[in-house]
Amino acid sequence: MYSNRLLCFLSLIVFAACAKAQSPEIYALDSFSAKLITGIRSNEHQRAYLVTDRSIYKAGEYLWFNACLLDAASLKLSHKSRFLFVDMVNDKDNVIKQVILDIANDQFGYRIQLPDSLAGGYYWLRAYTKQMAENDTNDICVNPLYIVSKVNTAYLSKP
């Protein structure tokens, strides 16, 4: 019985010594992971996404789209910003139409009526928050569109 106690006591000492020997490595790993998590949280930023119903429109039609704002690290919906600005711009970066979505109240979908007098050509739909416009323009979403003017649609109509 004495030998069992001695054996148990020695194995406990060996286990404690092994656990103590791993302590600095575990501490270093914990410290690294804590710094990594702190760095990710301090650099939180959002990314805007747009989905349109088509990529080619005729002047005068409705352009339907859904927009969302995601946390760049987790890719979950973000409510950090209240408003999401959606602009339709031409190739000279002139704003044709602008819509402001209230992301905080879950307004994600909208439509823009294209003017009848809109010239044919390439346009862009872009979505951004105030923070993106001021700090990090890499997270702004830009979708290309092609508009066919009403003047040039005579050959597209069916006989």
Q: Which tens digits make up the pLDDT trace of 117-135?
A: 899 999 999 999 998 888 8
Same domain as 56, residue 2: no
Expressed as residue numbers, the domain containing 94 is: 46-153
> Looking at the domain assignment, is residue 13 inside a domain?
yes
Least confident of 34-43, 44-53, 64-73, 139-148: 34-43
- The number of domains in the chain is 2
Same domain as 148, residue 132: yes
- Of 67, 63, 46, nearest to 129 by C-alpha is 46
Same domain as 140, residue 64: yes
For the residues 46-74, what does the mean pLDDT come to?
A: 90
> Looking at the domain assignment, is residue 158 inside a domain?
no
Same domain as 120, residue 74: yes
Task: Output the pLDDT for position 86.
Answer: 94
Same domain as 89, residue 20: no
Of 64 and 154, the structure prediction assigns the larger pLDDT to 64
> Looking at the domain assignment, is residue 159 inside a domain?
no
CA distance 71 to 100: 19
DSSP strand pairing (141-148 vs 56-58): parallel
76 within 8 A of 27, measured Cβ to Cβ: no
- Please say if the pLDDT value at position 145 is more than 90: yes
Please give the full DSSP string across 6-58, using - where no structure is assigned: HHHHHHHHHHHHHHHHHHHHHHHHHHHHHHHHHHHHHT--EEEEEEES-SEEE
- Please say if the pLDDT value at position 107 is more than 60: yes
- Count, in order, helices (H) and strands (E) of the chain: 2, 8
